[in-house]
Amino acid sequence: MQEHLNFYIDGAWVPAQGTRTQDVIDPFTEQPVARIALGDARDLDRAVAAARRAFPAWAAQSREQRLAVLQAVIAAYEARMDAIAMAVSLEMGAPLTLARQAHAVAGLSHLKQAAQVLAGYAFDEVLNRTRITREPIGVCGLITPWNWPLNQIACKVGPALAAGCTVVLKPSETAPLSALLFAQVLHEAGVPPGVFNLVNGDGPGVGAAMAAHADIDMLSFTGSTRAGVAVAKAAADTVKRVAQELGGKSPHLLIDGVDLASAVRQAALQCFRNSGQSCNAPTRLLVPAHLHAAATAIAVEAAQSLRPGDPRDAATTLGPVANAVQYAKVRECIATGLREGAQLATGGLERPEGLAQGYFVQPTVFAHVSNTMAVAREEIFGPVLCILPYGSEEEAIAMANDTVYGLSAYVSAPDLAHARRIARRLRAGMVHLNGARADHAAPFGGYRQSGNGREWGRMGFEEFLEAKSMFGYEEEQQQAA
């Protein structure tokens, strides 16, 4: 079993101050595969102090100097891609094929995107006689989740370092292995001591202290809406900037006239991808009432086409959910749907046939779901699809917007112009039109209880910058005679 009892602080691996530890559980075997130290406020203080000391020199580096470091990070990451994918699969159960083709690749893409933004970003502009410049905000605390660990780490760390900030990262304590590899990547790439620091820990031990820490200038958090509220409250006394990417209950609107077989299959598989553990997953499928039965049959077929099993088996297309807590939560949500009267079209509470161990949830389809049911309103974060019939397009748009969330939405329409019109009326931070994939150069984030701020691309980079106005900086223009 792996032992990871040190934290990466000020360019070195140092022992934890306390004695608390936690096992990392493989969600397929339900057995421990590693043990990590859990930090406390003393470990966080050391990391923050290191980041504070390193900040002036790192912020003062030129664009070219920071680009050179980022390029070295990218090269070191590429050399570790297979090990990173294996770590992700081991710690949170993603099929190894998905870990290689999506998880590890996403991390690399965000690092490259950060370098690309830095290379062309205009830090200064002139307005009248005022010079407006954008400067790094300072020491940043980063709290990342277990569902897409490398994606969320890289899309925060990459732009923060590119902007000239120093960081302290607290990855999820249930999926820390890929984060530890990421720290090794940055060390091998020659990131200066104190610029990047990692402290493992849980929410009460490190997360809350990070949110409240007076020497952390900005906090970037990804996780549940409930946890995000707690983080924002803890951060309020220090008036630090808080950027949050939280929960979602994303609708997928199917409009009459679309290729039903293709659109429903794609919608279902998008929902079940990563075992349904994506905040932007299209978990509410809205279909015309007269197509409800046909859409349900197609979704059932898609669900039953998935092959659950050992994540390290190349044939596996559905892994377990990431941990025991999530397993219990998803099963309780399915039980709630059954109590509410939603029609179980496939799936349910039992493990998939032939699997006696692992946190496996059958890909589940509920039909005849009302938008007032808990399964249609609460984020389940598992492979559960709800199909909701609607009578008119206006009703579909109203149903889609009838949620406390607003992270993502999906539209499948007979033509792009039709999809565009609907997209403009949806209250969500992102809308996918006719199967379009996400773009790492575009902003990622949501409305309402899905969070505030944006990640990815230029707008994600700007979350780590402050704007300074220098009045009278420019020479006064002489009036022509």
Query: Tokens 């808080």 — which residue?
Result: 242
Decide if 379 contacts 405 (C-beta within 8 A): yes
Question: Residues 390-398: contacts with CB within 8 Å, 24+ apart?
Answer: 390/286, 390/287, 390/288, 390/289, 391/288, 391/289, 393/255, 393/422, 396/253, 396/255, 396/286, 397/253, 397/422, 397/425, 397/426
Residues 6+ apart with CB under 8 A from 166: 51, 52, 54, 55, 58, 138, 139, 140, 194, 195, 196, 197
Decide if 146 contacts 176 (C-beta within 8 A): no
How far is residue 212 CA from its own chain's centroid?
Answer: 22
**Six token digits for residue 59:** 């912020």
| Catalytic-labelled residue, pool 245, 379, 455, 462 | 245
- Amino acid residing at 9: I
Q: What is the spatial distance between Cα 386 and Cα 363, in angstroms, rounded to a whole number?
A: 11
Decide if 188 contacts 180 (C-beta within 8 A): no
Residues 6+ apart with CB under 8 A from 439: 457
Q: What is the spatial distance between Cα 82 and Cα 77, in angstroms, rounded to a whole number?
A: 10
Residues 6+ apart with CB under 8 A from 224: 246, 247, 379
Q: Which is nearest to 387 in space by CA: 262, 294, 325?
A: 294
165 carries an active-site annotation? no
Decide if 165 contacts 117 (C-beta within 8 A): no
279 carries an active-site annotation? yes
Which residue spans within 204-335 are E strands per DSSP? 218-222, 241-245, 250-254, 282-288
Give the helix/strand (H/E) hosting 136: strand 130-136
Residues 6+ apart with CB under 8 A from 35: 1, 2, 3, 4, 5, 21, 22, 23, 24
| Catalytic-labelled residue, pool 140, 165, 271, 279 | 279
Q: What is the spatial distance between Cα 113 and Cα 71, in angstroms, rounded to a whole number?
A: 11
Residues 6+ apart with CB under 8 A from 77: 84, 107, 108, 111, 182, 185
Q: What is the spatial distance between Cα 74 and Cα 154, in angstroms, rounded to a whole number?
A: 11
State the sign of the Cα–Cα–Cα–Cα dihedral 30, 32, 34, 35: positive
**Residues marked as catalytic:** 245, 279
